[in-house]
Amino acid sequence: METTPAVQTFDLTRLYGDMVAVNQLNLVVNRADLFGFIGSNGAGKTTTLRILATFLAPSAGTARVMGHDVVKDADAVRHVIGYMPDFFGVYKDMEVTEYLDFFGACYKIPAKQREKTVNDVLELVGLTEKRGAIIGALSRGMQQRLGLARVLIHDPAVLLLDEPASGLDPRARIEMMAILQELQRLGKTIIISSHILSELQTLCNRVAIIEKGKLIYSGPVQGVRDQMAKGRVVWVKVSSDPDQATQILKSRPEVVEVSPVDGSLKVTLADHDTDHSIVAEVLVKGGARLLELREDELGLEEVFLRVTRGETQ
């Protein structure tokens, strides 16, 4: 089984004059990852994606895509990637099928195969009913789907998507994310940069956070939450005396802090690995009547705000 990463960067650096846009970036994206690339405006996300897409040369270091060096084997890289920038031009007077057929010809797909290929990618992105539509008449969301169909026309192994949900309404964003999940299920490796962190939290299996061109974190989504969280937090509601419940919990070494908030108790555990069922167990044994217990998940948006401010608690 092939274990070479889909994408790997080695001290990747890009300078614009004296400004360092990407600073010795070491990144590994595994095959079939749906990989979230997170950073504020100017953090270096777009520059990194453009280097991986062979549109920019690195100032130092290098990167490999499906085993091909982005500088030495640029042509090979272009055959295995599909790059969708945050803003891309479309030929608004063309029909949808004409547009995709044109790009199929650019990739030297034989004419006999192009019709089937075009139909297949339109079905994949949910645009089959719009195959004869004029592009300029399509909504922003449908034009984004068409842009995705265009980068899929040559069946690339790796998709580089720069803010693919930018400017979309909530329904169009949800539909776009569902398409990306289906593409991952089909075995595509997808790198997606986005500011819509709440969606990346459930969409991606791994993320990287960069700030001012430097990598701050790379790994599983849950891993960054665990790294940033001070300790596991659970919320408790009791029908008995809350002061009694507070004293029961404070007597336990696993509990760091108990504080009342809007009729519930916020319980902070000492270690993120502590099983929160211990809270229910000690309360019931202590005679408290438990109504509700739920874990407080640290969202990716909150993690991003903490880590990019250098805060860990």
Mean pLDDT of 72-76: 97
Indicate the number of domains in the chain: 2
292, part of any domain: yes
Say what the pLDDT of residue 230 is.
57
Q: Are residues 109 and 16 in the same domain?
A: yes
Pairing between strand 206-211 and 214-220? Answer: antiparallel
We report the CATH number of the domain holding residue 292 as: 3.30.70.100
Q: Write out the chain in H/E/C secondary structure.
A: CCCCCCEEEEEEEEEECCEEEEEEECCEECCCCEEEEECCCCCCHHHHHHHHCCCCCCCEEEEEECCEECCCCHHHHHHHEEEECCCCCCCCCCEHHHHHHHHHHHCCCCHHHHHHHHHHHHHHCCCHHHCCCEHHHCCHHHHHHHHHHHHHCCCCCEEEEECCCCCCCHHHHHHHHHHHHHHHHCCCEEEEECCCHHHHHHHCCEEEEEECCEEEEEEEHHHHHHHHCCCCEEEEEECCCHHHHHHHHHCCCCEEEEEEECCEEEEEECCCCCCCHHHHHHHHHCCCCEEEEEEECCCHHHHHHHHHCCCCC
How many CB atoms sit inside 10 A of residue 44's CB?
A: 24
Name the domain boundary from 220, 244, 265. Answer: 220
Q: End of a domain among 220, 247, 264?
A: 220
Question: pLDDT tier at 297 (50, 70, 90 boundaries)?
Answer: low
CATH number of domain containing 103? 3.40.50.300
Region 107-115 average pLDDT: 94
Q: Domain containing 88: what range? A: 7-220
Q: Do 186 and 290 lie in a common domain?
A: no
Same domain, 153 and 251: no
At residue 309 the predicted structure's pLDDT band, cuts being 50, 70 and 90, is low
305 located within any domain: no
Asked if pLDDT for residue 170 goes beyond 90, the answer is: no
Q: Which two tokens stand for residue 152?
A: 């899929």
Q: Are residues 156 and 18 in the same domain?
A: yes
Report pLDDT digits (tens) over 172-217: 988 999 999 999 999 999 999 987 777 788 899 999 999 999 998 8
User: Is residue 304 assigned to a domain?
Assistant: no
Examine the domain organization and report whether 198 and 285 are in the same domain.
Answer: no
User: Does 168 map to a domain?
Assistant: yes
Q: In this structure, is residue 46 part of a structural domain? A: yes
List pLDDT tens digits, range 218-270.
Answer: 998 877 766 665 567 888 999 889 999 999 999 998 888 898 988 899 888 87
The pLDDT mean for the chain works out to 89
